[in-house]
Structure 1
Amino acid sequence: MIELLSYGAFFLTVALTYAIICLGLNVQWGQTGLFNVGVAGFVAMGAYTSALLTTPEDPVRFGGFDLPIAVGWLGAALMAGLLSVLVGLLTIRLRADYLAIATFGVAVVMQLCALNLEPLTGGPFGIGFIPRPFGWMAEDRLTFGLLNLGLVVLTTLGVYLALERLLRSPWGRVLRAIREDEQAALALGKNAFAFRLQAFAVGGAIMGLAGAVQAHFIGFIAPENYVPMLTFQVWAMLIVGGSGNNKGAVLGAVLVWAVWAATAALISAVVPPELQARAAALQIVMIGLAICIMLLVRPRGILGEVRTVSRHVHEASGKK
């Protein structure tokens, strides 16, 4: 029973870190229509920034400032947001397909930097000894897992509530107006470039925060953690849950991670060890199949975006 509860806490903790990434992508794509396929790069920026700020001093690697975890998480969000601004200034005017190519390039560059800047990032060996919240409770696996889960739940809830308030504000309505009809928004005097850049920066900062949360939960990061597969997973989560809906982003993250974890357990239990590397491709197939089914059955996802033309129209029709 204890083992089951420990695994449940671990599963939900990982799923919710992906939910935070999905919330960031939802700001960019679901609300603004920015096609970012470089998610892994912004997550990596957050993870490495927080790791460098909070790990103990290391004589063979720059960094190791041994700062509190909260400072690391804040620094991760700021650095990922700054990276988003720099990338956005260069690419935000591009059409959706060109923006996708540019952001994918950013993710590849970030991974190559993590791999080759060994004095800073540890290179292929990564960065270890990243402080874990409640690390002093690590020997009691259940208590440690539940405490970490509680912290991640609070972080996810905080991001969710902040975004809900932000996206229901005039700023959020402008983002959706630009997504739906940019020319109409421009005619009303809205600076589409500035609003898109702001949305791109907010989404990137949230992804960086999620990268930091993951890094401190696992305690170790390496370049191989931030391959394009991470981007595919996050997009699958958002599509399945419902683009444009923050609740859908969270739900999609939990469901897709459940499919990923279940197929991994099935492969480990059924497939011989020498064939498991090849059979791991079945995970991608299962996720792809889930996306296809979802697009056929519910094109807008499980919890699609709730679109309101005008609250006055809803009041007149008797709807709330």
Structure 2
Amino acid sequence: MQLSLVGDDVFQITGNNQSQLKVTLSGRNSSQVNELGVFTVDDAAGTIDGVAPGSAEYTVKALARARVIFSAISNNPNGYNPVSLSRLLEFSSSSNLRFYLVSNASTDAVNAGTISTSNIIFSSNTSQQITNLGAEGFTLAWQNTSSSNFQDLVVNIQAVDESLPLGTSLQGQFQGEVIDLRDITGNVRADFTVNREAAFDNFVGFYRVANTNGGIDTNSDGIADILPGQAGYIQAAIQNRVVGIDLTVNNQGTATYTGTLPGGAIFVPFIIIDGRPDALLDSSISNDPAVYFPYLGANTDGFDHIRLLGDNTFGFEDLPNGGDQDFNDVIVRVNLSIA
């Protein structure tokens, strides 16, 4: 496996038929929660379908190829250390890669139209510094403010020969903060670590969906019967949650849990704000707490409430309409292994 700088800010990854790119967070110094992403380009100049960087059409074409790497939160709960977090992404050999930053927002929000494309910062000599580390790959140091120290977000990138972590095949895609176990038969052990920096006593669980769009099968025929945003979706999600995975933690505490996820399906995280599932399944709607999902259409405010912080690592925002956008109200890390 090899990663080479072939243009001013374009990298080429080579290896076997599929090559793995490892991205590790090494530092951040920003009050904003910025999201890092990557997209494939056609040549060392960074063009896409003949459209050059800086052209009016370029952002749309880049987003069509974009994959989220992770977000870096700015206020870490006690017990949560993000420095060792990483993402592993797979590309066809000889792919040309270019990186981008979403300033204090997410790719999902831009694609959904709730955030302007002006929040996207493409790599350039004014936004990114590249350091060649030899056999250890490269360091990418970003700035998204008027500062000139390029420390807003710093990552190491490297070509590696490693298998993708279990459950991550959809992570990085649009609204892909999910666990994909469709190719697995039998049970999967899930070890959870939960952290919190929030006044609300929130609840996180996982529910089963029938497809990548978040549709829920309510009659066990394998076909989605209700889609995100449709009436009854919240109740259907709670009814289809995985029993026994009830994730809560004291403020500034750390809690660990072990559960089982059956193979052959996609599992989606949700957060109940300052409440529990029972309140959503009783006969009264007057006591229903807010519930948020990775699918923006399922959220009553239409905002992004779950960010990918690393492989199988999810950060939650518990306030409506974007809130304080810190995505540290609950953080859930999942280590998956074949049971």
TM range (shorter): under 0.3
Q: Which structure has more RCO (C-alpha within 8 Å, separation ≥ 6)?
A: 1
Higher strand share: 2
Q: What is the TM-score of this pair, normalised by structure 2?
A: 0.24
TM-score for the superposition, normalised by structure 1: 0.25
